[in-house]
Amino acid sequence: MTTPTIQLNDGHQIPAIGFGTFQIPDDGTTYQAVKDALAAGYRHIDTAVAYFNEDEVGRAVRNSGIPRDQIWITSKLWLQDFGYEAASRAIDKSLQQLGLDYIDLYLIHQPYGDVPGAWRAMEDAKKAGKLKSIGVSNMTPKIWNQFVPQFTTMPSVDQVEFNPYFQQTELRAILKAHDVKLEAWAPLGQGNQDLMHEPVITQLAEKYGKNAGQIILRFENQEGIVVFPKSVHEARIKSNLDIFDFDLTADEVAQLRTLDKGQGQHDPDAPGVKEMLLGAFDVHAND
Ligand SMILES: NC(=O)C1=CN([C@@H]2O[C@H](COP(=O)(O)OP(=O)(O)OC[C@H]3O[C@@H](n4cnc5c(N)ncnc54)[C@H](OP(=O)(O)O)[C@@H]3O)[C@@H](O)[C@H]2O)C=CC1
Ligand SMILES: O=C(O)C(=O)[C@@H](O)[C@H](O)C(=O)CO
């Protein structure tokens, strides 16, 4: 099966569904999960320096036997490495950890600090062929307006929390105006059981002979959102990709839109977020 793609504003085609790797440990579990995902047909893997598993992602990709140009790899620059010089070094380190010559999409992971300096380093790495597409993550409308007007080039994506409980209405209008695609993190609400048991979702699952996760992911896909659900279970890895043999009607999409609560689990605008994140993820702990 070939996964459908979505065109980015720089002309590249990103697979509309990928595989997420946050919180998958680097004890062989990431290697196995990515291997299972590639075998199931995923051709898009989302990782980050701060997930501490780039090495296993890269090894699974390199050992897959699948031509490199058929797999889309996203990684992300951690906020300890912002500013031009540090970001340039961190891009080379990510390439080295992945064991790859280029990264398809590279993101400003958390938008605090010298974001414009990091962005310039990413623009130069793109010109050098080390990165194919570049984008941002966790930019709310407020943070977008703070930083993006300082950029020379428009990001290709903004990767933010998105699921039926948090549909990012205000941000989507801004991104649409700039032809920037929204990528969903936590597309399954990180397995939120309330979401999985929403009556509208369970009714649609029964109608289409699908599970709740498949209804949620198909809804997001039909909304034009790029998704990359994470799982370490082979059955879920397979079922999360099996969403293209049915279409939700316009009325059903409208019903799912009503689940929006307008806020998520993580608020990038909240005071102290940068310090919380720096305390949680130290990518230089072993330097
Ligand atoms: N840019 C950013 O700041 C962030 C980016 N991300 C990226 O987005 C990806 C996806 O987000 P993530 O936070 O992992 O959350 P997801 O919404 O993908 O949910 C993952 C959780 O749901 C469970 N799950 C997976 N499939 C199903 C299913 N079909 N039914 C029920 N439960 C299921 C998984 O458990 P199990 O593994 O046991 O199956 C896991 O606990 C990440 O892996 C990462 O790549 C995530 C967070 C922040
Ligand atoms: O998973 C990621 O990519 C993250 O950046 C996480 O830190 C996430 O944003 C989070 O844990 C917020 O509380």
The token pair at 172 is 């989507």
Take atom 21 of ligand 1 and give the residue whose Cα is closest.
190
Residue 110 CA to ligand 2 center (angstroms) comes to: 8
Ligand 2 centroid, distance to 67 Cα (angstroms): 30
77-to-96, 197, 258 alpha-carbon distances in Å: 14, 35, 34
Per-residue pLDDT of the chain (287 residues; tens, 9 = 90+): 689 999 999 999 999 999 999 999 999 999 999 999 999 999 999 999 999 999 999 999 999 999 999 999 999 999 999 999 999 999 999 999 999 999 999 999 999 999 999 999 999 999 999 999 999 999 999 999 999 999 999 999 999 999 999 999 999 999 999 999 999 999 999 999 999 999 999 999 999 999 999 999 999 999 999 999 999 999 999 999 999 999 999 999 999 999 999 999 999 999 999 999 999 999 999 98
What are the pLDDT digits (tens) for 84-126?
999 999 999 999 999 999 999 999 999 999 999 999 999 999 9
The span from the CA of 261 to the CA of 163, in Å, is 10
- Taking CA atoms, 24 is separated from 27, 28, 54, 73, 197, in Å, by 9, 9, 11, 16, 25
Which domains, and CATH codes, for the chain?
10-280 (3.20.20.100)
Give the binding-site residues of ligand 2, using a 6 Å CB cut-off. 22, 48, 109-110, 266, 277
Question: Which of 26, 182, 197, 231 most suits a substitution to test ligand 1, by most atoms within 8 Å of the C-beta?
Answer: 231
Answer yes or no: pTM beyond 0.90. Answer: yes
Catalytic (active site) residue 102: no
Residues 41 and 14: beta-carbon distance below 8 Å:
no
Give me the catalytic one of 31, 42, 51, 112. Answer: 51
